[in-house]
């Protein structure tokens, strides 16, 4: 008896599903990039190993586009022992040679050596605390929600990312310039830079 109404409701529900959601423009239409934007970018992150991983990947991005590194992320996880810092810190010449021959990662000697050094610096922090506590304290302890309306409004770095870069450098980290740190802050939800109107802005 209600089959007509049911069909109308089904079509309406399907229309809602198909209705495109407004999001930040930077992912374009690349499915991997869109999924990263919709599921990960800007979500507050507090797990030490994942923070370490993302810091390494952001450093690997230097001079490249993020999508290039994102496409290599699974290869990075395999090549660097799941970002197990204790294992990475013990890498020697043989492991470096293997990594530099691996087309699945960015084959830049300085970046590979920096990853090993960063693993040692990360472990040093964990001797008396956590990377999570250090970085979030530098970021102010909670997410800063910005109100940018276009990509041209979003800064490449801020005084906070300057301070984070300096603090990490003092602790022995490499490839942690202020621009890299700000991108890291965006990715880990230390700042919410989803543009006004993006459906994810209120969700993260």
Ordered by start, the domain boundaries in the chain are 32-192
The answer to whether 66 is a known catalytic residue is: yes
Whether the predicted pLDDT of 18 surpasses 90: no
The answer to whether 36 is a known catalytic residue is: yes
Average pLDDT over residues 60-86: 97
Whether the predicted pLDDT of 47 surpasses 70: yes
Query: Is residue 107 within 8 Å of 100, Cβ to Cβ?
Result: yes
* pLDDT of the residue at 4: 52
Query: Is residue 27 within 8 Å of 197, Cβ to Cβ?
Result: no
- Work out the pLDDT band at 12, boundaries 50, 70, 90: very low
Topology (CATH) of 32-192? Endonuclease III; domain 1 (1.10.340)
- Work out the pLDDT band at 20, boundaries 50, 70, 90: low
Average pLDDT over residues 46-50: 98
Residues in the chain: 204
Whether the predicted pLDDT of 15 surpasses 70: no
* pLDDT of the residue at 167: 98
Whether the predicted pLDDT of 196 surpasses 80: yes
User: What is the Rg, in whole angstroms, of the alpha carbon atoms belonging to the chain?
Assistant: 20
* pLDDT of the residue at 9: 54
Q: What is the mean pLDDT of the chain?
A: 92
How buried is 71 (Cβ within 10 angstroms: 0-12 exposed, 13-18 middle, 19+ buried)? middle
- The three-state secondary structure class of 149 is coil
Average pLDDT over residues 136-146: 96
Query: Is residue 132 within 8 Å of 48, Cβ to Cβ?
Result: yes
Percent of the chain with pLDDT over 70: 90
* pLDDT of the residue at 203: 84
Q: Which of 66, 91, 136, 182 is catalytic?
A: 66
The two three-digit tokens of residue 44, written as one number:
């507050």
- pTM beyond 0.75, yes or no: yes
- Work out the pLDDT band at 134, boundaries 50, 70, 90: very high
Closest CA to 184 of 44, 76, 27: 44
Average pLDDT over residues 171-184: 98
The answer to whether 33 is a known catalytic residue is: no
Name which residue leads in pLDDT, 3 or 154: 154
Whether the predicted pLDDT of 14 surpasses 80: no
Q: Which of 33, 41, 58, 76 is catalytic?
A: 58
Which residues are CB-contacts of 184 (< 8 A; sequence separation ≥ 6)? 54, 55, 58, 164, 190
* pLDDT of the residue at 19: 55
Whether the predicted pLDDT of 184 surpasses 90: yes
């Amino acid at each position: 008896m209600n089959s007509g109404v049911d069909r109308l409701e089904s079509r309406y529900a399907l229309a809602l599903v198909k209705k495109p959601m407004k999001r930040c423009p930077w992912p374009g239409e690349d499915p991997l990039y869109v999924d990263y934007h919709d599921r990960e970018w800007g979500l507050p992150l507090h797990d030490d190993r994942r923070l370490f991983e993302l810091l390494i990947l952001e450093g690997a991005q230097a001079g490249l586009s993020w999508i290039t590194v994102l496409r290599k992320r699974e290869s990075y996880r395999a090549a660097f022992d799941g970002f197990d810092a204790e294992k990475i810190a013990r890498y020697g010449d043989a492991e470096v040679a293997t990594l530099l021959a691996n087309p699945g990662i960015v084959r830049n000697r300085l970046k590979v050596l920096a990853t090993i050094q960063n693993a040692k610096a990360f472990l040093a922090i964990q001797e008396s605390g956590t990377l999570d506590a250090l970085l979030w304290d530098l970021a102010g302890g909670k997410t800063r929600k910005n109100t940018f309306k276009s990509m041209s409004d979003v800064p490449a770095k801020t005084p906070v990312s300057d301070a984070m870069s300096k603090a990490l450098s003092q602790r022995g980290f490499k490839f942690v310039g202020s621009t890299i740190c700000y991108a890291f802050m965006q990715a880990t939800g230390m700042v919410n830079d989803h543009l006004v109107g993006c459906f994810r802005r209120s969700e993260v």
